[in-house]
Structure 1
Amino acid sequence: MTPWSIAPRGLPKLLHPLLLVLKALIQFFMLLWFLCVRVSSPDVFLVQNPPSIPTLVAVKLASSLRKSAFIVDWHNFGYTLLGLSLGRSSRFVSVYHWFEKYFGKMANGALCVTQAMQHELAQNWGIKATVLYDQPPEFFNPTSLDEKHKLFYRLDKNLCQPLGIQDCINNGIGSPHTDETLFTTQSGTAVFLKPNRPALVVSSTSWTPDENFGILLEAAVMYDRRVAAILNEDDSTSEEILWKEISDEKQCLYPRLLFIITGKGPEKEKYEEKIRRLRLKHVAFRTMWLSAEDYPLLLGSADLGVCLHTSSSGLDLPMKVVDMFGCGLPVCAVSYSCIEELVKVEKNGLLFSSSSELADELLMLFKGFPDQCDSLKLLRNGALATGSSARWATEWEEHAKPLISEVISQYTN
């Protein structure tokens, strides 16, 4: 988070710049004290950017005082993040950009998260960086049937409480039986997925303006209307019938969709209110905050992930998609300049630029769910292959460790 990313409330606007500069100075001296006094002298300081101010300045000074090497791990550009709130033309953004570039060039080495960022750093910043792709932690992996059953039982109350009125998933009453959930049933020690279960779509969001959640809502409405049109439904269809268990062969062409949206953020309540007013027949939404233990299990239990991340610089990749692939979950992601370094179209996921494109993808992927959706199965196999092809330890050994060893060797000689 940048020092200027959150404006203080209850103060005159003229005092905001002064207070923010004061905040940066306090952070600078706190960092310098910690790096120079509280920790043992290291061979190298490895700092993730952003935030750039005061971090890069403090680490550069500490590395000089302690005669240590200095490496920057570029995950994005701080000035582009600041530009989201202040505008790219802001004088603060220009100053921030200068500091970030000046002190970034003073590092003894650099890592970055994409080839596109590597090119930008080389061409316009004069920085030679090694690409180190983010990889999922070891605990992000596919979820077993037994784990799915236990997870859905723990989440039963959340899943059975609609946002607003009753919807196509449940009428607000949870299952009283430990051997049955919305998605699974248990017979003895064996767990089975229900054939008439809804398709589960997961999206993780920070509920901020840089992630346009409206695209997902519009796509859900389009899916709902198109399925209704295919089923020749009209407004006179009673709500009681809509909640009945799906059995008609024609209806089985397209499943009910349950979107679980995880995360916290400033725009959450605004979109929850919009969801309450939708009155959809074939789509339902749940918002929740999951524990660090349950989040990977949910990703591994879902049928599809949706990523609404749009990079402030256009040069970084969403970690949430990396985690989804680690769990073998295929993804539909917003398209931008370098996303195809991660999402391989028609191999482990699909890209979209509008709500109508996302709706088309949902219809295509879930037609014939759960047994006859070959396109979705193909993407799942690709996601599993992507998630298992490399892990953090492997990526670090192959790319980061040689650079760090080289920088330390050059700096000490």
Structure 2
Amino acid sequence: MQYHALSLANQVFPFPSLSIFLFYPSNFMICYLVVRFFILCIPSNALQALLEVDIVAYGGSEPHGALLANPSIHLYIMKQWPTARQSLPRILILLLKPLVQFFTLLWFLCIKVPSPDIFIVQNPPSVPTLVAVKWASWLRNSSFVVDWHNFGYTLLGLSLGRNSHFVSLYKWFEKHYGKMADASLCVTRAMQHELAQNWGINATVLYDQPPDFFHPASLEERHKLFCRLNKELCQPLGFRDCVSNGTSLIGSHGQNETLFTNEVGPDIYLKRNRPALVVSSTSWTPDEDFGILLEAAVMYDRRVAAILGEDDSLDEDVVWKEISDGKQCLYPRLLFIITGKGPEKEKYEAKIKRLKLKRVAFRTMWLSAEDYPLLLGSADLGVCLHTSSSGLDLPMKVVDMFGCGLPVCAVSYSCIKELVRVDKNGILFSSSSELADELVMLFKGFPDECDALKILKNGALETSSSTRWATEWEEHAKPLINKARL
């Protein structure tokens, strides 16, 4: 017995996920994924899935090395929508771009890739993806399964407004072709309820899980990562800051010292006076208000100064000299590393450069698919600013953070508690002031006496070890896929 499945996906995270490698590609790279499953009967009568994968993608970020090295995964690169055509009137782009994508997809789905028995389509994008794949399933006599990660019309509504006629038309296509699926998966119980009540679609919940290369980093892995990133870590966005001041000699005498670690002979240890490392991943788009994080950073800086009784007129040079001289403080410096690419990055970098902060610094960078999980596994806290366009999806970035045992502060919205267990593996916030309060509370006594942060860290590690993609797939997805095939 054998069958094939095709999965199309868009905008998940900065590299393909290999436990989902059969299923979900990465953010910043629009991928159309063809997955062919070969089900083999083995002596114990159990079923084992072996996968043959064709990825048709727009060129973008380099995929994870494990994906490139896998002989069962084959990459096809499509041409990007030409940037020169962005100067066309917006209405023409809204009409022409989907048409070009539609016929390009049909070419790949009906001619270039092997004929599948089942098409699994990750939504969004909805137009023209759902239409193209449904037509291809008719032409190739295949079953059609939709994996609902969000609603495309709500994403389009962020830029055009919910009352736009294009948004209404987009929703009609999404709902009409979504109801034509032979089976459906979705990422939250809230979305499952919405699909059942208002779309007439019965979906099975399949929670995202991190691939195995997301894990807590060892001391050696941390040290090697910080050595590779040393130049970027020591280079301030502005003139100088609490991290760059006094660190010019770090790493200049071999690769034995970084901002966070020191190597002495065979031993590596974390510096006691290191900054606390906070990581946030973003696509720098309007659905993530990065101003919240900048305001929280300013508030943390001022609140710590007030708690310590510092005069507002105290120059940051005085604080930085005390730090470089090794003075211990109840509250640490914070280094925010913001990863990702996107349209609003330069705007926020300009805002960061104008900030005058004593105990907070920012770095923006783009990491390789191999280094990004190591950064999450080396950090002290993750911050998620994702606000769902529909209020019904969950941020994959938090899933990856939990895979690395990293506790999270996340923006609160309707269904986020399906992922973040408050005071167990993370905390929620609704404003910059609440986030600032949480930073002050969590990092008090850092690095050894921050008990609240340690509790969240233990909860994130427990979340990391409790469920992985293979388990979620076997329990929820594979039975549905088998049923749809039959």
TM-score range, shorter chain: over 0.9
Q: 1:65 aligns with which of 123, 139, 153?
A: 139
Partners of 2:283 and 2:97 in 1: how far apart? Answer: 24
Query: Which structure 2 segments of 5+ residues have no match?
Result: 1-9, 11-29, 31-79
Compute the displacement of 1:253 (Å): 1.2
1:200 touches 1:260 (CA, 8 Å); kept in 2?
yes
1:169 touches 1:284 (CA, 8 Å); kept in 2?
yes
| Residue equivalent to 1:53 | 127
Cα deviation code 1:93-140 (max 9, x no counterpart) = 000000100000000000000000000000000000000111111100
Compute the displacement of 1:263 (Å): 0.8
Q: 1:27 aligns with which of 95, 98, 101?
A: 101
Paired amino acid for 2:379 = A
| Residue equivalent to 2:216 | 142
Q: Look up the SS of the partner of 2:472 in the other structure.
A: helix
Compute the displacement of 1:23 (Å): 2.4
Partners of 1:251 and 1:224 in 2: how far apart? Answer: 16
Cα deviation code 1:54-103 (max 9, x no counterpart) = 11111111111211110000011010011011000000000000010000
Compute the displacement of 1:168 (Å): 1.1
Partners of 1:236 and 1:31 in 2: how far apart? Answer: 61
Compute the displacement of 1:248 (Å): 10
| Residue equivalent to 1:346 | 423
Report which of the two has the higher share of strand.
2
1:74 touches 1:110 (CA, 8 Å); kept in 2?
yes
Partners of 1:356 and 1:19 in 2: how far apart? Answer: 40
Please report the TM-score for the alignment, with normalisation by the length of structure 2.
0.80
Q: 2:456 aligns with which of 379, 382, 400?
A: 379
Paired amino acid for 1:323 = D
Partners of 1:62 and 1:266 in 2: how far apart? Answer: 33
Compute the displacement of 1:43 (Å): 1.4
2:376 touches 2:406 (CA, 8 Å); kept in 1?
yes
1:195 touches 1:370 (CA, 8 Å); kept in 2?
yes
Q: Look up the SS of the partner of 1:9 in the other structure.
A: helix
Structure 1 residues 19 and 149 mapped into 2: Cα distance closer, same or farther (>3 Å)?
closer
Q: Look up the SS of the partner of 1:26 in the other structure.
A: helix
Q: Look up the SS of the partner of 1:150 in the other structure.
A: helix
**Residue pairs, 1:45-124, within 5 angstroms:** 45-124=119-198
**Residue pairs, 1:30-41, within 5 angstroms:** 30-41=104-115
Residue 407 (str. 1) matches residue 484 (str. 2): yes
Q: Look up the SS of the partner of 1:244 in the other structure.
A: helix
| Residue equivalent to 2:199 | 125
Residue 263 (str. 1) matches residue 340 (str. 2): yes
Compute the displacement of 1:325 (Å): 0.4
| Residue equivalent to 2:442 | 365
Paired amino acid for 1:376 = L
| Residue equivalent to 2:291 | 214
| Residue equivalent to 1:325 | 402
**Residue pairs, 1:175-186, within 5 angstroms:** 175=250, 176-177=252-253, 178-186=255-263
1:145 touches 1:192 (CA, 8 Å); kept in 2?
yes
| Residue equivalent to 2:6 | none
Query: Which structure 1 segments of 5+ residues have no match?
Result: none
| Residue equivalent to 1:283 | 360
1:161 touches 1:173 (CA, 8 Å); kept in 2?
no
Q: 1:309 aligns with which of 372, 380, 386?
A: 386
Residue 252 (str. 1) matches residue 326 (str. 2): no
Partners of 1:350 and 1:342 in 2: how far apart? Answer: 11
Q: Look up the SS of the partner of 1:137 in the other structure.
A: coil
Compute the displacement of 1:165 (Å): 2.1
Partners of 1:98 and 1:319 in 2: how far apart? Answer: 27
Residue 298 (str. 1) matches residue 298 (str. 2): no
Compute the displacement of 1:239 (Å): 3.8
2:276 touches 2:380 (CA, 8 Å); kept in 1?
yes
1:170 touches 1:243 (CA, 8 Å); kept in 2?
no
2:283 touches 2:340 (CA, 8 Å); kept in 1?
yes
Q: 2:230 aligns with which of 133, 136, 156?
A: 156
| Residue equivalent to 2:272 | 195
1:196 touches 1:245 (CA, 8 Å); kept in 2?
no
Report which of the two has the higher share of helix.
1
Partners of 2:370 and 2:451 in 1: how far apart? Answer: 31
Paired amino acid for 2:162 = R
Paired amino acid for 1:146 = E
Q: Which range is displaced more, 27-36 or 280-289?
A: 27-36
Compute the displacement of 1:40 (Å): 2.5
Q: Look up the SS of the partner of 2:410 in the other structure.
A: strand
Partners of 1:167 and 1:39 in 2: how far apart? Answer: 52
